[in-house]
Amino acid sequence: MVAGRRVLIGVSGGIAAYKVCEVVSALAKAGAEVRVLLTEGAQQFVTPLTFATLSRHAAYTDEDFWQPVHGRPLHIELGEWAELMLIAPMTANTLAKLAYGLADNLLTNTVLASTCPILLAPAMNTDMWLQPPVQQNWTQILADPRMHGVGPGEGVLACDRTGAGRMAEPAEMLSYIESLFHTQGDRDLAGKHILISTGGTREFLDPVRFIGNPSTGKMGIALVLAARHRGAAVTLVHGPMEAERLQILRDVRLVPTVSAEDMHHAMKDELPKADWIVMAAAVADVKPAEVHAAKLPKAALPKELPLADVPDIVAELSRDKLSHQMLVGFAAQTGDIVTPALEKLHRKHLDAIAANPIDQPDGGFGSDRNQAILLDRTGRQVAVALGSKLEMAHQLYDFVKEMGAGD
């Protein structure tokens, strides 16, 4: 979603500036047009030459402020050129200037000369971040509809303090940038509560053996990010997942589960609070009929494994949901993906379903990319071409909105 798009990155003076190098490099490699401008403080940490090399374009400093570009002031040219701005790291000083509309350097003048969405990534010492004036400035700047915030997170800071103030990681900023290009900064899901399930379930035979599947939960993570970037409140019910995958999620209620039975109870508990429910989890179809408390010796493993059914979570949610709630399912298929997806859509009384192939290269389980055909009960079908799972998540929400759920 970033190829050919124009991204302007403002870097202010903080040690976290080194992380912005990865963002600039990733955007340039993805085909975006990237311009970087540095405050005087930023140049104490990363040189303009570094950003010029990574962006394949000259980086700008205050020394360039009054140098005309095609006869026009640079800050006007850059402000009108940018389709999106990222300010990272954003220091307490730059935050205060932006909150009160001050403009005493190239960066702050360019902000005032722009009209595009702006993503802000604060970074500072914990005590600095928690100061009431800083929090007030943060709240004030985010009241501007075109301002979007990512982070800060918690962790070990450069001052050896552990706490809030750590700048968002490059992956977080890149995913938010991708979302902003899709939405143009519109928080169209604000006021909605979206309940999402993701990951695979595990049905244990004994403490070390289980029936499972290759689901990594990446599609569900993308659904969470897309919903949060569009302003929705989100609850994520997930199967066993690597902790690192969940660290990118902020302001999200996480409900961990293991088995289909666990997920069944969690989804039913959370259902009344949701407006939209998206079942992206790869839930087991069966479980061992008998579960052993101690590990079975190899010689004692059954040659034939009796199986029992697990709860049909989607069917029960469909039965219990209220008239205003929208229930969306997933159908991971091989071969013909539409016929079984349509059958599942009607049999389980879903409002919509995403049929995605898991036998295509560079897609399906474990991949960062996916493709699908979206279907609803009216017979509408929309093909989602192979792309990032975040882009697919956005297209799924667009599809549901068009069903009238956004009214």
The residue extents of the domains of the chain are: 6-183, 193-405
Show pLDDT as tens, one digit a residue, over the chain (407 residues). Answer: 789 999 999 999 999 999 999 999 999 999 999 999 999 999 999 999 999 999 999 999 999 987 776 678 999 999 999 999 999 999 999 999 999 999 999 999 999 999 999 999 999 999 999 999 999 999 999 999 999 999 898 888 888 888 888 999 999 999 999 999 999 999 999 999 999 999 999 999 999 999 998 888 999 999 999 999 999 999 999 999 988 888 888 889 999 999 999 999 999 999 999 999 999 999 999 999 999 999 999 999 999 999 999 999 999 999 999 989 999 999 988 888 999 999 999 999 999 999 988 887 776 677 888 999 999 999 899 999 999 999 999 999 999 999 874 44
- Contact predicate 121/86, CB 8 Å: yes
Cβ neighbourhood burial of 78 (10 Å; 0-12, 13-18, 19+): buried
Helices (H), 247-379: 260-270, 313-320, 338-347
CATH number of 6-183: 3.40.50.1950
- For the entire predicted model, the pTM comes to 0.92
Alpha-carbon gap, residue 154 to 250, rounded angstroms: 11
Alpha-carbon gap, residue 63 to 326, rounded angstroms: 55
pLDDT at residue 154 in the model: 84
pLDDT at residue 214 in the model: 87
pLDDT at residue 405 in the model: 47
User: Do the domains spanning 6-183 and 193-405 agree at the CATH topology level?
Assistant: yes
pLDDT at residue 363 in the model: 67
Q: Which one, of 192, 210, 190, 191, lies nearest residue 200 by Cα?
A: 210
Alpha-carbon gap, residue 104 to 350, rounded angstroms: 56
Residues tagged active-site:
159
Architecture of domain 193-405: 3-Layer(aba) Sandwich (3.40)
pLDDT at residue 354 in the model: 95
